[in-house]
Structure 1
């Protein structure tokens, strides 16, 4: 659902302790707690106006206020902080503080329409689990790299103990993710559909379900761009440079890349596709991106049609 741009906008800059706001209709700046007492004041401020509350993603601190307002029937929109910063700089605003941020969030929301937040508790729990698992993998890689340079025997033992503990936590998270998917009818059905695709295993399926809720509602070009695997033109005048991928959702792209690497070696249809591209003169990374794009486009079509890959 797209938000109506004629609605009043209340923009919020979110931090752990407080919400710095701007009521765009009255021009009034205000500040409330990032707690239930503050949410009550926000609900009162919204009143019976046709209003939309717009706020940036802020590492999870935005979730309680989004849930509180959404339960009260107040439309909420979440915007990408990077896009707001680019928007601010395009308008010559380089200074940064909480009140200025709220003002630029309001200006961004007025200029660029977007979809309202749709609560989906089951998917949000899955997204939190999948995000924590990814963070554990990052930590595992960091500790493993550190361990390779350690000379002290005790430090090497401590690193090994830490790696063993992280590995156990990842196994526990895998179990929790599987349980979360099995407990939801929608997630379970879509997980089975996704895993029917060659090269899509439990990790990629869970990542797509958690971080790409738009699957099944987009065109092939839109889904490729959203995942960050759509080649972007690099042309100006007579120059026609090589196209490259840009933007999208890094967490999805990272897992897609690993799936594409495995598929290019072990999955017969996709391995044949990879070899065909290499034989045509494509560089290995370009061929891998083509596999990534094929996988995510297939995922979108399969969720849209609610049919397995074999069907």
Structure 2
């Protein structure tokens, strides 16, 4: 299996087909067309793509690679950064980073990424939009409060602000209902079990479903607690604890 390193940015991604310093790299556009062009240059039987998790920038690439049956690993950037330090890498360019990621794959043999289901992706999108709308709602309410503290508040401006607040409140309510309904329909068993626990409502239960893929991303409770940052760590060196 040949490891391919990919360094991703918003508009493009650089591909290193080999970790060899003298090997050539190729740049593709980070679009559906550009990704399909890249996929035509590799084989699902011979290649394993490795890249850093870069949020939305890597989402389309990971999705289309997985749909094409290409083995793909999505690694924590901190792990790759620490690997670069261990290799005493001091120069940083997109091409060098891509080769370094290819070398990381070759040496570390990272586990294949499990593509999130469409339901999980939809739930996460709804949650992201809800969060942003809530931020806008808070900002607009603060604006209304600050304007009301002035000697006078222009009637037209006031109506505009109040309409915006009402619109945001309705959008948030509708999306929260959609999120809850989708979570309950796609993950009914998990939602029923979670909400049966005192203190866990629909919102928290849905968040746990999204974080764990319906509790399919982890093999045991220990892995889950470490992922959530709830597992204590023990550090001791010499006489220091």
TM range (shorter): 0.7 to 0.9
Alignment of 1:19 onto 2:16: no
1:89-132: CA deviation from partner (whole Å, max 9, x where unpaired): 44443544322332232233333322333351111111221233
1:237 is matched with: 238
Structure 1: gaps of 5 or more residues? 1-6, 241-311
Give secondary structure in 1 for the equivalent of 2:196: coil
Return the offset for 1:42.
1.8
CA distance in 2, matches of 1:223, 1:91: 31
Q: How many residues align?
A: 232
1:263 is matched with: none
Q: Aligned match of 1:117 in 107, 114, 118?
A: 114
Return the offset for 1:23.
0.7
User: What is the correspondence of 1:97-136 to structure 2 with a 5 Å cutoff?
Assistant: 97-112=93-108, 113-136=110-133
Indicate if the aligned counterparts of 1:8 and 1:25 stay in contact, CA closer than 8 A: no
Structure 2: gaps of 5 or more residues? none
User: What is the correspondence of 1:253-272 to structure 2 with a 5 Å cutoff?
Assistant: none
Give secondary structure in 1 for the equivalent of 2:219: coil
1:45-90: CA deviation from partner (whole Å, max 9, x where unpaired): 2136421112223331322222222222111221222332343344
Indicate if the aligned counterparts of 1:130 and 1:206 stay in contact, CA closer than 8 A: no
CA distance in 2, matches of 1:106, 1:172: 44
Return the offset for 1:166.
3.6
Structure 2 CA distance for partners of 1:193 and 1:61, relative to 1, 3 Å: same
Structure 2 CA distance for partners of 1:222 and 1:88, relative to 1, 3 Å: same
Indicate if the aligned counterparts of 2:63 and 2:115 stay in contact, CA closer than 8 A: no
Greater relative CO, 1 or 2 (CA 8 Å, sep 6+) = 2
Structure 2 CA distance for partners of 1:225 and 1:160, relative to 1, 3 Å: farther
CA distance in 2, matches of 1:92, 1:161: 57
